[in-house]
Structure 1
Amino acid sequence: MTYGVGLVPWCDGRDGMYSWIWRHLPGNGWVRALISLVLATAVVYVLFQYVFPWAEPLLPFNDVTVDNQ
């Protein structure tokens, strides 16, 4: 039995996406943390600059029905 597998009910032996990314980043812990911060910042930038403005006309947030009473 591998350590951690079967000891807790929510652990099925898979680490998950973030641990896979962490293992494949180069460098020690500090370098990995810096690279992770840069990657997260880049993802947020791309979302706010390109993805959200593209998707905004497709979303029904401006279609409100409020009666004047």
Structure 2
Amino acid sequence: MIRWLLSRIPAPTWIKVLLCLVVIAAVVLVCFQWVFPWAQDEFHLIDTTVGE
């Protein structure tokens, strides 16, 4: 996906790299803000059975 993005943007290389870093940071932010909390609540990942 990054390769496709880099080949489609008509800009200098440093702008392409900066844009890719921003996209990756946005994906990580979305995961930590919404995906991981949803998965924790949905799949009960904190519930442990050790010692029960």
Which structure 1 segments of 5+ residues have no match?
A: 1-16
Gaps of 5+ in 2: none
Give the partner amino acid of 1:40. Answer: I
Aligned position for 2:40: 56
Match for 1:26: what amino acid? Answer: P
**Counterpart for residue 39 of structure 1:** 23
TM-score (norm 1): 0.60
Question: 1:33 and 1:39 mapped to 2: Cα distance?
Answer: 10
Matched positions, count: 52
More contact order relative to length (CA 8 Å, sep ≥ 6):
2
Query: Percent sequence identity over matched residues?
Result: 40
Runs of 4+ in 1 over 3 A off after TM superposition: none
User: How far apart are the structure 1 equivalents of 2:10 and 2:32?
Assistant: 28
TM-score by length of 2: 0.75
- Residue 43 of structure 1 and its aligned partner are, at CA, apart by 0.9
Paired with 1:53 and 1:65, the residues of 2 have a C-alpha distance of 20
By how many angstroms is 1:21 displaced? 1.6
Which residue is equivalent to 1:28?
Answer: 12
